[in-house]
Amino acid sequence: MDNQEKKKLLRMMLLIRRFEEKLVALSKDPQKFGGMMIVCTGQEAVAAGAGAALLPEDVIVTNHRSHGHLLAKGAEPDLIMAEIFGRRTGYNKGKSGTLHIAAPEVNALCTTTVVGGGIPIAMGTAFAAQYMNKDYVTVCFFGNGASDEGSFHEALNMASLWNLPVIFVCENNVYSGAQRQEEHTKVKDIADRAVAYAMRGEVVDGNDALAVYEAVQRAREECLSGAGPVLIECKTYRWGGHGTADMQLYQPQEEIAGWKEKCPIKKLQADLQQAGVLTEQEFQQMESDVEQIVEQAVRFAEASPWPEPAEALEDVYV
Amino acid sequence: MQQITLGEAVNQALREEMRRDERIFIAGEGVGVSIHSGPGATSGLLEEFGPRRVKDTPVSEAGIAGLAVGASVMGLLPVVEIMFNPFFTIAADQIVNHAAKLRYLSGGKSKFPLVVRIKTGAGMGAGCQHSHNLEAWLAHSPGLKVVMPATPADAKGLLKSAIRDENPVIFIEDIILHWVPGPVPEEDYTIPIGVADIKKPGTDVTVVTWSKALGTAFKAAGQLEQEGISVEIVDLRSLVPLDEATVLESVRKTGRLVVLHEATRTGGFGGEIAALAAEKAFDALKAPVLRVTAPDIPVPYSKPLEDFYMPNEADLIEAIKRLF
Ligand SMILES: Cc1ncc(C[n+]2csc(CCOP(=O)(O)OP(=O)(O)O)c2C)c(N)n1
């Protein structure tokens, strides 16, 4: 990755961070949008790193914690924001909301909030690539908790059996709801679960965007050469609660503070500054660019029309 | 009388039953340590009964349901939780193919005294993968009892009956009702499964409903009362077994029937009630039986769309007026 691309990577993490900080702030106002806001603050390196390794034709399948994945795949901030505002101009005309935004325009084909639900689907989109002899890969994002669902195990077994071009990216943020990893599985590294399906598994520092990028890039090549699938476990941490309604009573303060020290944005920023690639001024510029994008997205969403009630009846069938 | 929410009523029923019978344990995602810190259906139970009887599980719905099936045949009394109704589909093999059928397959030799608690309902802006009322699917599986309370008092008494029942019981709790308070007796009591309740007597039209839609029925009845139409509201409380007698008696009295439910229309349980009236009270009907339901769409996220999805009192009033 050249220096320009590294800066883009940093900028993407910053965009995800500020975009979601805005969502959390807005969600305090029940007039704006209801429900619980689920964000990936602290985990941005996974989305940004993986996104940087993908081409437009590559497919992503993601889960309830998806804003970062979508942005990094190239989805439009305006259209994501409008969807979360429930407006007609949003990616899914207000049908999805924050939890299930699909952006087929950028091959973000399925965002599911059914934990584990996307994993077999990613196996299916990968099957289609093999069947049609096409050179794209599928990246499937899911959490450590999702690896306890039967769907995970069935999908990995089938993907491995047929050498499908799919990269399973497990975003291990230590928690699954209020349960810590050691309370939901005895497995220490989710990557070890690859062994059960004779697939390559790898543990990556999920707070190191470059490391994630490199791992996904490598896996992508393997997949395209017919040596897929691959399971990549990105070790990271959820700074906030499961969602905005979560008071985090079960999350030790020292643990949160420790992980904040390992902020993926600060890390890449520091690395780039130390290498003389990024000046403080450039970083400030990045901050203000990103802020403008987020503000613009909110303006777009707020100015957008609500759907007419009867539009609820549309889009059920083709 | 104490005023508590449906969520708290569930909590009391669980707590009192667990104190009474050591064979009862609960299991589910976050039933012990939860991301929600307010008073909830299972809050405080881990502290009182410990991790042996309050099992936080992995996100593994098939496993949770299978745990209940296996533990119950060995003589334990599991009360397991499926967080939201759509996730029931992942547990469905264990519940529909196993819990419901294994007694039959044993020729009546085995029993499976388990309870599956499921949260359900639209109105929370979460979209269709959290909100999807699937009670008709469950009612369509012989071998299961299906209970769907509308008030805190009913929830407490019915959950106790469900736990004491020797059959698999699916206990469906509307998530919005979880936060709605109502009067609940302090003493130990049960409400029998399979007995409907006339929540409001009336003379001109029968509205059969259950769960959160009961509130909608009351709003409509209040308005219609002022226009001289007297509505009788029958709260089914249990879909299986169905209290046919109470429904038919009411229909015979009023001569008109509207069924109201939040679930979508086609294949909804409202069709079952309409068929019951057609088969067994046709002679008493002065007008066609109508259904007021959600349209046949997944629950949308956006507020105006979700409001459109939800059958409301205006829809019910309009339907009732068509009968006169
Ligand atoms: C099938 C299913 N069961 C339960 C839930 C409720 N739920 C939503 S997220 C979540 C925890 C998932 O943990 P993990 O997969 O590690 O992802 P994370 O939230 O940590 O990103 C649970 C239990 C759900 N959405 N789907």
pLDDT band of residue B117 (cuts 50, 70, 90) is very high
Nearest CA among B275, B281, B278 for reference residue B248: B281
Residue in A99, A177, A312 closest to B300 by CB? A312
Q: Does the residue B190 lie in any domain?
A: no
Q: Is residue B144 part of a domain?
A: yes
How distant is the alpha carbon of residue A143 from its chain centre? 10
Residue of A94, A117, A242 lying closest to B305 (CB–CB): A94
Does the beta carbon of B123 lie under 8 angstroms from any beta carbon of chain A?
A: no
**Which chain A residues are closer than 8 Å to B30 by Cβ?**
177-179
Residue count of chain B, please give it.
324
Is the same domain home to B268 and B236? yes
Asked whether A185 and A157 are in contact (CB, 8 A), the reply is no
- Say whether both B26 and B166 belong to one domain: yes
The answer to whether A245 contacts B35, with C-beta atoms less than 8 Å apart, is yes
d(CA A23, CA A38): 9
Residues B147 and B254 in one domain: no
Report the share of chain B in percent with pLDDT over 70: 100
Q: Give Cβ neighbours of residue A136 (< 8 Å, ≥ 6 apart).
A: A55, A57, A58, A59, A107, A129, A165
In a domain, B191, yes or no: no
Statement to judge: residues B156 and B49 lie in one domain: yes
CB A6 within 8 A of CB A277: yes
To the query of whether residue B130 is one of the catalytic residues in this protein, the response is yes
Q: Which residue is listed with tokens 């973000």?
A: A108
**A269 interfacial to chain B (CB closer than 8 Å):** no
Residue A112: the pLDDT is 98
pLDDT at residue B212, as a whole number: 98
Which of B57, B58, B125 faces A34 most closely, judged by CB atoms? Answer: B125
Are B163 and B214 members of one domain? no
Q: Are residues B118 and B259 in the same domain?
A: no
Angle value at C-alpha B210, between B209 and B212, nearest 5 degrees: 115
Contact predicate A109/A128, CB 8 Å: no
Q: For residue range A56-102, list pLDDT tens digits in order.
A: 999 999 999 999 999 999 999 999 999 999 999 999 999 999 999 99
Among residues B149, B126, B124, the alpha carbon closest in space to that of B7 is found at B149
Distance in angstroms (rounded) separating the CA atoms of residues A73 and A77: 11
Distances (CA, A) of A93 to A80, A306, B310: 10, 9, 18
What contacts B15, CB < 8 A, 6 or more positions away? B44, B45, B48
Asked whether B81 and B25 are in contact (CB, 8 A), the reply is no
The answer for A 132-151 residues in CB contact with B (under 8 A) is 145-146, 148-151
Query: Has residue B189 been placed in a domain?
Result: no
Average pLDDT for B155-170: 98
- The set of residues, in sequence order, having a beta carbon less than 8 Å from that of A55 and lying 6+ positions away, is A136
Q: What is the mean pLDDT of residues A251-267?
A: 98
Domain of B67?
2-184
Cα B266 to averaged position of ligand 1 atoms, centre (Å): 30
When divided into structural domains, chain B yields a total of: 2
Checking if the pLDDT of B201 tops 80, the result is yes
Give the amino acid at B173: E
pLDDT, tens digit, 9 for 90 and up, residues B293-311:
999 999 999 999 999 999 9
Query: Are B242 and B128 members of one domain?
Result: no
The whole-number pLDDT of residue A31 equals: 81
- What interface predicted TM-score (ipTM) does this complex get? 0.96
**B208 and B147 co-located in one domain:** no
Return d(Cα B204, Cα B195) in angstroms, integer: 22
A225 and A164 Cβ atoms separated by less than 8 Å: no
Atom of ligand 1 nearest to the CA of A146: 15
- Residue B252: pLDDT band (50, 70, 90) is very high
Out of B17, B81, B98, B130, the active site residue is: B130
Is B192 part of a structural domain of the chain? no
Active site residue B22: no
The domain boundary residue, chosen from B184, B219, B236: B184
Cβ-based neighbours of B222, under 8 Å, separated by 6 or more: none
Q: Å from A265 to nearest chain B CA?
A: 27
**pTM summary value:** 0.97
Supply the CATH number for residue B266's domain.
3.40.50.920
Q: A136 CB less than 6 Å from ligand 1? A: no
Task: Write out residues 15-34 of A within 8 Å (CB-CB) of B.
Answer: 33-34
CB-count burial class (<10 Å; 0-12, 13-18, 19+) for A291 = middle
The reported pLDDT for the residue numbered B38 is 83
Report the chain B residue with the minimal C-alpha distance to residue A314: B297
User: Mean per-residue pLDDT for A109-132?
Assistant: 98
Domains of chain A as residue ranges with CATH: 3-29+37-175+184-307 (3.40.50.970)
pLDDT 10s digits, B264-277: 999 999 999 999 99
Q: Based on the domain organization, do B91 and B133 belong to the same domain? A: yes
Our mutation pick for probing the ligand 1 site, out of A36, A64, A66, A115, counting the most ligand atoms within 8 A of Cβ, is A115
pLDDT (0 to 100) of residue B37: 85
Residues B123, B148 within the same domain: yes
Q: State chain A's mean pLDDT as an integer.
A: 97
pLDDT in tens, A21-55: 999 999 998 788 777 899 999 999 999 999 999 99
B245 interface with A at CB cutoff 8 Å? no
Provide, as residue numbers in chain B, all residues whose Cβ is less than 8 Å from the Cβ of A148: 58-60, 63
Instruction: Tell me the per-residue pLDDT of B31-51, one tens digit each, with 9 for 90 and over.
Output: 999 999 888 999 999 999 999
CATH number, domain of B27, equals 3.40.50.970
Residue of chain B whose Cα is closest to the Cα of A112: B129
Share of chain B above pLDDT 90, in %: 99
C-alpha A291/C-alpha A294 separation (Å) is 5
Alpha helices in A115-202 (DSSP H): 118-131, 150-161, 181-184
How far apart, in whole angstroms, are the C-alpha atoms of residue B114 and residue B116?
Answer: 7
| B215 and B307 belong to one structural domain | yes
Across A259-268, average pLDDT: 98
Domain end marker among B152, B184, B216? B184
* Co-location of B218 and B291 in the same domain: yes
Helix (H, G, I), strand (E, B) or coil at A203: strand
Nearest to A307 among B35, B90, B302 (CB): B302
